[in-house]
Amino acid sequence: MKYGQRSFIFTFLFIPVVIYVIFVAIPYVTSMAVSFTKWRGLTMDLPFNGVNNFVKLFNDPNFWNALGHNAIALVVLPPVIITMALIFAFLFTQGIRGSGFFRITFFFPQVMSAIIVGVLWSFIYHPTLGMLNGLLGLLGITSLQNFPWLGDPSTVFGAILVVTVWQAVGFYMVLFITGMETIPSHFYEAARLDGANSFMMFTRITIPMLWEAIRTAIVFLALGAMDMYAIVMIMTNGSGGPSRGADVVPRYMVEAAFTNGEWGYATAMAVVLMLIILALSILSLRFTRRETLEY
């Protein structure tokens, strides 16, 4: 590399690297240091606490309850959202009448903020005024007509997962549609001549050709499943649901810091969550790696 090229690259990378170090790298290192203290968040006094925060964390049933809900989301959301998005994307690229309208309709929830989505679905789930229970009543399912979907520990998290799927499917559908429209049509034509049906073309042509997009979606959805802070906060009024039935680690972390004043403990929770997310990202990229198909 010539001297002029190095200078050019250094000039354009210098400011982004400085910003990254100040706003990302330094906070990471600082957080790891704070996680070993008993900081209350109100003073600059940072009494060293050793590994006590982590010992407390691993013996905290509320933390494991919250992490369990994140784990459920991790298992449920990526396969459900990706499967639905792939099916809709495939259908809407087959020349179905009104497919443009359906694309916009399915994508619309993605442009809505989590606050609007949470409030909207809170009204839908309302026991007496909600659309869901009203519809169940019209269908004759009277046993669930006044059921408190967000007020029952056994259903609150499932109800929130439904909302998350509803909001996310449209985005990944559009992502997959974009990828499908770049696949050469002669692949499908040759498959039809060989007697392949739509399902065979979908599984043997479409999915392999879209694998890089699917792989990216898996990683993004896995990271999203370990968050879910905004939608849980809004739909449970910040409580994590009845009996913490929809609590997730980020919400519990905020409670520990801002409500209980245990900033050192909350930071230890954040460090553990960061390590889990880092491990998930590495594993997702490692186990979804395939040979790139070219055409």
Say yes or no to pLDDT of 289 above 80. no
Q: Where are the alpha helices (DSSP H) in the chain?
A: 3-20, 26-34, 52-58, 61-91, 99-111, 114-124, 131-138, 156-180, 185-193, 198-201, 207-209, 211-225, 229-235, 249-254, 263-287
Say yes or no to pLDDT of 1 above 70. no
Q: What is the CATH number of the domain that holds 199?
A: 1.10.3720.10
Residues 74/222, Cβ–Cβ less than 8 Å? yes
Q: Is residue 30 part of a domain?
A: no
Q: Is residue 266 part of a domain?
A: yes
Structure confidence at residue 291 (pLDDT): 59
Say yes or no to pLDDT of 39 above 80. yes
Angle (nearest 5°) at CA 111 between 108 and 117: 85
Count how many domains the chain has. 1
Structure confidence at residue 57 (pLDDT): 93
Structure confidence at residue 76 (pLDDT): 95
Q: Is residue 294 part of a domain?
A: no
Angle (nearest 5°) at CA 257 between 60 and 71: 45
- The confidence band for 172, taking pLDDT boundaries of 50, 70 and 90, is very high
Spatial CA neighbour of 255 closest among 246, 266, 244: 266
Q: Is residue 230 part of a domain?
A: yes
Average pLDDT over residues 153-172: 94
**Backbone angles phi and psi of 48, in degrees to 5:** -65, 135
Could you give the 3-state DSSP secondary structure of residue 239? coil
Q: Cα–Cα distance between 147 and 159 in angstroms, integer?
A: 12
Q: Is residue 48 part of a domain?
A: yes
Q: Is residue 203 part of a domain?
A: yes
Say yes or no to pLDDT of 169 above 80. yes
pLDDT per residue over 133-161, tens digit each? 888 888 888 777 788 999 999 999 999 99
pLDDT per residue over 259-272, tens digit each? 998 999 999 999 99
Structure confidence at residue 168 (pLDDT): 93
- The confidence band for 74, taking pLDDT boundaries of 50, 70 and 90, is very high
Say yes or no to pLDDT of 58 above 70. yes
pLDDT per residue over 224-244, tens digit each? 999 999 999 999 998 899 999
Spatial CA neighbour of 119 closest among 163, 69, 166, 169: 163
- State the Rg of the chain over Cα: 24
Average pLDDT over residues 159-178: 93
pLDDT per residue over 84-106, tens digit each? 999 888 888 877 777 778 788 88
* Percent of the chain at pLDDT exceeding 90: 43
Q: Is residue 276 part of a domain?
A: yes
- The confidence band for 2, taking pLDDT boundaries of 50, 70 and 90, is low
Average pLDDT over residues 102-131: 88
- The confidence band for 209, taking pLDDT boundaries of 50, 70 and 90, is confident
Q: Which domain holds residue 197?
A: 35-287
Q: Is residue 83 part of a domain?
A: yes
Q: Cα–Cα distance between 127 and 122 in angstroms, integer?
A: 10
Average pLDDT over residues 46-72: 93
Q: What is the mean pLDDT of the chain?
A: 87
Structure confidence at residue 290 (pLDDT): 66
